[in-house]
Amino acid sequence: MMDGISLILLKGDQGHDVSQLVEQIRWKGRKGSSARTLTVQLVDDDSSQHARAAVDVEQGQHCIFSLNGTELFRGMIMSQTQNNKKKLTFTAYDNGIYLANNRDTFTYENKTASDVFKNCCKRFGIPMGEVANCTYKIPELTKSKTTAFDAILDALSLDFDATGIRHYISSDKGKVSLLTRRENIVQWVIEAGQNLSSYSYTRSMEEIKTRVKMVSKEGTVVAERSMAGLEQKIGIFQEVEQPDESLTDAQVNDLIASILEEKSTPKRTLTVETMGIPEGISGVGVYLIIPALGLSRTYYVDEDTHTFKGNLHTMSLKLNDASDLSKEEKGGEAASSNQHKVGDIVNFKGGSHYVSSTASKPASTGLKPGPAKIAHIAPKAKHPYSLITEDWKKTHVWGWVDEGTFD
């Protein structure tokens, strides 16, 4: 068993520590999946020096997995397998599984993605944690005989088209939250020659579009936009979309601009194998440095698999560009009272940074001063500025900071 691992089986109101029986744990999640999973392999032997775990999937048993005193996973055991090699393997899902396993008809008018998320959770009795404040009101959203998770994903997609801001769903300690991606950048660095074991970098234009056409239900073109410079290089690749009829001309123009910006960017995907970082899970961002590829920036984790075996914790991550980090939210406030704006290069005075604009505790303290760029501003937040270092050798600031921490 790996040092620092704790695995508790919950049988009714009783907790049973089976940490000594653990041989391997795989903890994983991916973008587009409602729940994270935990797959555990246990010793299942009457003759061993420890009592058997006696897992019974049909009793709705739950488990809690912790590392060095920090809870990483809590969920329901959904499947189990026992074999003649005296091994028992079970897989548990966190609370997000309830969003994927409940179907209904969902109808919303002038509701935000936050409203949709809250309604879905309340409808099926799912405990809620933090809920991001999505500001865009979706004119109409109707989903018939579908899952709550699909309804939420559609709402988040429409919100992204309108604002350029990405959100994701996460479960923590039995509560499901809706979080803003760019406000959850992990303060960890993955670097070649340090903690990076291997990598694979793929660039693809297979799904690229150079122009977008918006067409009404009657087939009338209501808006069209193209990337002339890109079309001179590769030719025309067109996408056709049908906007909601309730959108104004200005909203349609914003929508087509957002869609074209997204679809005209080649896909860049990185897969990396590295030493394990518990916070490096799907939805968050990590800072990656690979000099051989000229890469030194933040990537979002789209898929992760953490493996705990013996005394080793490793992880495999699929990463994508965090292209929205420097975008100002459409319709949002661009600056605070001192008129700093997104993109400004400032002088960080040193001190602390936070993993999100609302975090209660700093992710790192005692950071050295140095130049940094303002990546995002949340004027009314506790830590309103997101700073990205301009020189990693001078300062490691890469997170949210307070007013007055830079010039």
Report the side by side order of strands in the sheet with 238-241: 221-226, 211-215, 238-241
- pLDDT digits 0-9 by tens, 274-310: 999 898 899 888 888 899 998 888 888 999 999 999 8
Dihedral (CA of 162, 165, 166, 168) sign: negative
CATH superfamily for 98-181 is Baseplate protein-like domains (3.55.50.10)
Q: Is the pLDDT of residue 331 over 70?
A: no
CA angle 327, 333, 337 (to 5 degrees): 120
Question: In this structure, which CATH number among 1.10.260.40, 2.30.300.10, 3.40.50.300, 3.40.640.10 belongs to the domain 5-94?
Answer: 2.30.300.10
The model's pTM:
0.77
Res 335: pLDDT: 41
Q: What is the DSSP letter of 181?
A: G
Average pLDDT over residues 252-261: 87
- pLDDT digits 0-9 by tens, 169-197: 999 999 999 998 877 766 677 888 889 99
Percentage above 90 pLDDT, the chain = 58
Class level of CATH domain 184-203+267-321: mainly beta
Side-chain half-sphere exposure of 14, counting CA atoms within 13 A: 4
Res 347: pLDDT: 95
- pLDDT digits 0-9 by tens, 69-103: 999 999 999 999 999 988 999 999 999 999 999 99
Res 323: pLDDT: 67
Q: What is the DSSP letter of 136?
A: P
Q: Is the pLDDT of residue 359 over 80?
A: no
Res 124: pLDDT: 97
Average pLDDT over residues 223-230: 94
Per DSSP, which regions of 276-392 are E strands?
A: 285-290, 295-309, 312-321, 345-348, 351-353, 364-367, 370-377, 385-389
Q: Is the pLDDT of residue 151 over 80?
A: yes
Task: Tell me, yes or no, if the two domains 5-94 and 184-203+267-321 fold the same way.
Answer: no
Give the 3-state secondary structure of residue 7.
Answer: strand
Lowest-confidence segment of 174-188, 191-205, 391-405 by average pLDDT? 174-188
